[in-house]
Amino acid sequence: QQQVKQSPQSLIVQKGGISIINCAYENTAFDYFPWYQQFPGKGPALLIAIRPDVSEKKEGRFTISFNKSAKQFSLHIMDSQPGDSATYFCAASYPGYALNFGKGTSLLVTP
Amino acid sequence: GAVVSQHPSWVICKSGTSVKIECRSLDFQATTMFWYRQFPKQSLMLMATSNEGSKATYEQGVEKDKFLINHASLTLSTLTVTSAHPEDSSFYICSARGGQANTEAFFGQGTRLTVV
C-alpha cells in the first residue's frame, strides 16, 4: 500500500521554466516531509524538507508548499536548469521511523 | 549535510557466495540506520531498520536469514547478502539518522550488486 502518492511520473520542462511535482499522503501522523534528488547510479540526496507547522519553505530555487488540510505537498523548482534533470522523490515519516517514499518523478529539463 | 559513506559502490559476485556492504556515518552518530533496495526506475523499498546494539527489524517479505544486518556501533552498519542468487541483483542503499526523532535522513551512495 503506497502511503505517499506522487505525480506526475515524468515531467519535461524547458530551461528557465518552473518544475512542479506533487505528493499526497493519507496518514495524519506523518510529521516530516522531505524531498530527495537522485541521479542514476547514486543514492538520494536531501534537497529540502518541511514539517507540518509550516506552509512553505524556500531554499534557493527549491520551494516546498505544504497544505495540511488537504494532506498534500509539492516541490517547485524555479528557473529549472538541465543539471536539474534527475529523479525526484517525495517522502513522509512518523517521528523516528523510516521514510515512506513516493514512486518518483523523472524530470527532464531541455536546453 | 551529514555524510554517509557506503562501500563498495559496486560488486559482482558468483551465485552462492556472500557479500557484505558497509554503511558508515562519517560526521555524526547514527542511532538508527535503514537499508533500502531499489530496482531500476522504481522507488526505494525499505528492507530493514536497525538501531545500534539491537537486532534489526525487517519489513514483511524480507528474509532476515538472507539479509543479515549488523549495527554494532553508532557509526557503522553492515548488510550481508548470504548465498546470493541472480534475483538478489539490485541497488542497495543505506540511510542514517541521528539521535533526535525525525532528524534528517542522509543516504549513502548506494551499492550496485550483480550476482552472476
Task: Provide mean pLDDT across the span B79-86.
Answer: 97
> How much is the average pLDDT of B69-93?
94
CA dihedral sign of residues A44, B90, A101, B31: negative
Residues of chain A with pLDDT under 70: 1
Closest CA to B96 of B54, B33, B47, B44: B33
The number of angstroms, rounded, from the C-alpha of A78 to the middle of its chain's C-alpha atoms is 13
Question: Could you write out the DSSP letters of every residue in A51-109?
Answer: -TT-SEEEETTEEEEEETTTTEEEEEESS--GGG-EEEEEEEB-TTSPPEE---EEEEE
User: B43, A46: Cβ pair inside 8 Å?
Assistant: no
b/e code B20-37 from CB counts within 10 Å (16+ = b)? ebbbbbeebebbbbbbbb
A106: closest CA of chain B, how far (Å): 9
pLDDT over 70 at B63, yes or no: yes
Q: Closest Cα of chain A to B6: distance in Å?
A: 10
Assess B31–A contact: CB distance below 8 Å, yes or no: no
d(CA B38, CA B42): 6
Q: Is the pLDDT of residue B35 over 60?
A: yes
Q: Does position B7 have pLDDT exceeding 90, yes or no?
A: yes
Q: What is the pLDDT of residues B89-116, one digit of tens each?
A: 999 999 998 765 557 888 999 999 999 9
Window 30-49 of A: residues touching B by CB (8 A cutoff) are: 31-32, 34, 36, 41-46, 49
Question: Reduced to 3 states, what is the DSSP secondary structure of residue B36?
Answer: strand
Q: What is the mean pLDDT of residues B82-94?
A: 96
| Structure confidence at residue B1 (pLDDT) | 65
Instruction: Give the confidence band of B62 by pLDDT, cuts at 50, 70, 90.
Output: very high
Cell reading at A70: 488537504
Integer Cα distance of A39 and B13 in angstroms: 25
A88 in Cβ contact with A36 (< 8 Å): yes
Higher pLDDT, B74 or A107: A107
* Residue B53: closest CA among B37, B22, B35, B76: B76
The size of the A-B interface in CB pairs under 8 A is: 57
Distance of residue B34 Cα from the nearest chain A Cα, in angstroms: 7
